[in-house]
Amino acid sequence: MQTPRILCLASVAALMLCACLWPLAPSALAQEGPEEWEPGAPMGWNFKNLSPEQQQRMIRFSSFVNQRLPEEYLKAENSVGYTTKAIAVGGPLYAAHCSRCHGETGLGNGQLAHALTPSPALLAYMVQQPIAIDQYLLWSISEGGKPFGTAMPAFKKDLTQEQIWQIVAYLRAAFPAIEDDSAPKASGTPPPAKTDEPSPDAKP
């Protein structure tokens, strides 16, 4: 009966696979970090274990972690908060300036995403990470990714800081559906039907 031998070979193969994959596992990522990251605090990522695309993003993270950016971003205060009004304004701004690359719900699957290297960040997940504090998001959106080899444009000339904070509020709200203000509003009384017939009350 060959079952024990087959099981033995399967076990050896599994062990060899684990041995090959073990060096690729970034053990530091398994460590639990603080609920909210603060500039200057160490990050436990191993740069060698990242793909080229991840390395480009890591360089951006490292620049922020080590405070190699203007004080205006490190000391910036969110002036709009996460109010319903800020989210409602931030939604159309995100749709107009961000969704073509990052996708309607921040999954990095926008119309232009397939043509970009590195691919657009998955904002739906990134915004939940400890490093994604408001100042980091403000800096990333304002300055773009050109210094780090990505295609993300800088929006500091196209958007005011208040508008960027409104986009941040929309990201924090998990990309809710955007209401179309151009759609007709529902009312109790339907509008009168259009007709070519003259109105009976019309004066000659």
pLDDT tens figures, 120-173 = 999 999 999 988 999 999 999 999 999 888 899 999 999 999 999 999 999 999
| Coil vs helix vs strand at 68 | coil
User: Which residue in 117, 110, 111 sits closest to 54, CA to CA?
Assistant: 117
24 DSSP assignment: G
Residue 39, preceding bond cis, omega within 30 degrees?
A: no
* Residue-averaged pLDDT of the chain: 75
pLDDT at res. 170: 98
Count how many Cα atoms sit within 13 Å of the Cα of residue 52 in the half-sphere of its side chain. Answer: 5
Q: Which residues contact 76 (CB under 8 A, 6 or more apart)?
A: 134, 135, 138, 161
- Stretch 74-97: mean pLDDT, rounded? 96
Q: Are 97 and 158 within 8 A, CB to CB?
A: yes
Helix H segments across 22-111?
Answer: 52-65, 71-74, 84-97, 99-102
Q: For residue 47, which of 56, 38, 39 has the smallest C-alpha distance?
A: 56
Burial class (CB in 10 A: 0-12, 13-18, 19+), 91: buried
Query: Tens digit of pLDDT for each residue in 45-68?
Result: 566 677 767 777 778 878 887 877
What is the maximum span of the chain, computed from C-alpha positions, in angstroms?
A: 105
Q: Does the reported pTM lie above 0.75?
A: no
Domains by residue range for the chain, with CATH? 35-40+50-172 (1.10.760.10)
pLDDT tens by residue, 177-202: 987 654 344 444 444 544 444 545 54
